[in-house]
Structure 1
Amino acid sequence: MDKYSPEERHQLIMQLLQSHQKVMAVDLASQLCTTEATIRRDLRYLADEGLCKRIHGGALSLAPPTGTPEERLNNRNSEKQALAIAALSLIKPKQLIFLDASSTNMLLASMLPTNLDLTVVTNSPAIATRLLERQTIKTILIGGVLDYAVGGAIDITAAQAVSKFRFDLCFVGVCAWSSEVGFCAVHYQDGDFKHLVCARSGAIAVLCTEDKIEALASYPFLESQDLDYLVCTDSDSSIARYFAEQQCQVIIG
């Protein structure tokens, strides 16, 4: 007889997902004193309820809730500030940089040094507005139809504009990362746009908050081994080790 009722197991599984972002059926079966078949049914139920994403042998937490970049600024703000400060070490003189629409990249835009003869391209009006205050940085705002959830232009007009550049470095915004599929976006067109930006960049950097680690969104756009720089906190050493093994430079914020 199972030690826990289905409702109790569901609650415990969700607690483990919130703290670890990823759970495996074999481990849950041992922890909850039941069978893997029972756990697989539990995970199927939770996934059907929209509470997690099934993967082979287990489940991942969902990408954190979205909102406009301005709304997301208030979420984990101190962590994002630390990541933006740490990312400044990647900035070199005379670079052509792309800043993707992202609340963390908004903070980075406000911190960019003004004495390096930088050119910054962005699809985000909010980022461009912040760069207006840094008058020695040449800013190029690409056009297109604005997606208010993303906070920038990601349509075919924006994609055509990006194809005219070859960036030294891009800071691409991410909705989720998992060791299973890499970096993901919540929206299809946003994922497609990010993929194009990465393809036009000599180096790719991601500023990744803790809540996006071992989470899953619907549209993968970048495999883990293709990332050049990961900026993260030291709260989860496993992700730092994972990317170091992928020959990616990890910067702790």
Structure 2
Amino acid sequence: MLTDERHDVIRGLLLSDGRVVANELAARFGVSEDTVRRDLRELAKAGYCRRVHGGALAPAPVALPISARVEKDADAKTRLAAEAVKLLQPRHTVFIDAGSTNYAIARAIPRNMELTVITNAPAIAAALADHEHVTIIMLGGIYNGELGSVGGNTTVEAVEAIYADLVFLGTCAIDLTFGVSALDAVEAEVKRAMVMQSRALVVAATADKLGLAAPFRVARPEALTHLVVEGDADPDLLADFATQGTTVHHAR
């Protein structure tokens, strides 16, 4: 098989599966692993993949401004939010991280539920402002308008002074091997702190975020306590997450 033909096959696998494994490609193509690694280096240089130990992952997604993310897949996020809030119990202390799906979760919190919510996102605080039974703790820090959140050392230090029952974590990428990841290093640091300071980690994600990896790891896959997904998410991928101990919830 010619180099260009191998590259076409690899790009197709990255598009369909989100990942490739070097030794599997070598066996498939009948070439050495060194040849496959060279193929992956060339594809990574061209922006078609991101190399990791043993293979490669699909390129990291591009971050959209928060205003655009709120409108994107709004119906799906509403369904995910309705399922995610079932994990809440009265008088829980909860981190709600920045993100458009988490914004939908904040809006879906039952009006009669008493909670303490800690957030790094002004939009989420505003969404809960008229909720009579929610105590809002707004974290300080340096505001990033594109992400719609605050970050930096001040934010991390504030998070480390709190312990929560669970965290609703926003993410652009969830991968079975790499885990939960983020595009921005400062954002990832705050997210990691929230995970460390929470009894349970919850991620509600649209299908386009599954099988992807962004540059900065937030949590390993085995740290994911609950994964809330759409009904059409890849069942094989979800089964693998469940094998690692994650409870998978399907939005209706």
Under a length normalisation based on structure 1, what TM-score does the superposition of the two structures give?
0.89
Kept in 1, the 8 Å contact 2:50–2:60? The answer is: no
Q: Which amino acid aligns with 2:100?
A: S
Q: Which runs of 5+ in 2 are unaligned?
A: none
Residue 243 of structure 1, CA deviation: 2.4
Matches within 5 A, 1:57-76: 57-76=54-73
Matches within 5 A, 1:1-253: 2=1, 4=2, 6=4, 8-29=5-26, 36-234=33-231, 235-253=233-251
Q: Which runs of 5+ in 1 are unaligned?
A: none
Kept in 1, the 8 Å contact 2:60–2:215? The answer is: no
Question: Alpha carbon RMSD of aligned pairs, Å?
Answer: 2.1
Could you give the per-residue CA deviations for residues 84-106 of structure 1, whole angstroms, max 9, x where no partner exists? 11102101111111100011101
**How far apart in 2 are the matches of 1:120 and 1:88?**
13
Kept in 1, the 8 Å contact 2:143–2:149? The answer is: yes
Assess, with a 3 A threshold, how the Cα gap between structure 1 residues 9 and 220 changes in structure 2: closer, same or farther: same
**How far apart in 2 are the matches of 1:159 and 1:55?**
28
Residue 35 of structure 1, CA deviation: 5.7
- Once structures 1 and 2 are overlaid, which stretch shifts more, 155-164 or 115-124? 155-164
Residue 209 of structure 1, CA deviation: 2.4
Q: Which amino acid aligns with 1:170?
A: V
Q: How many residues align?
A: 250
What is the identity percentage for the equivalent residue pairs of Structure 1 and Structure 2?
35
Q: Secondary structure at the match of 2:199?
A: coil
Q: Which amino acid aligns with 2:222?
A: Q
Q: Secondary structure at the match of 2:71?
A: coil
Residue 206 of structure 1, CA deviation: 1.0
Residue 122 of structure 1, CA deviation: 0.6
Under a length normalisation based on structure 2, what TM-score does the superposition of the two structures give?
0.89
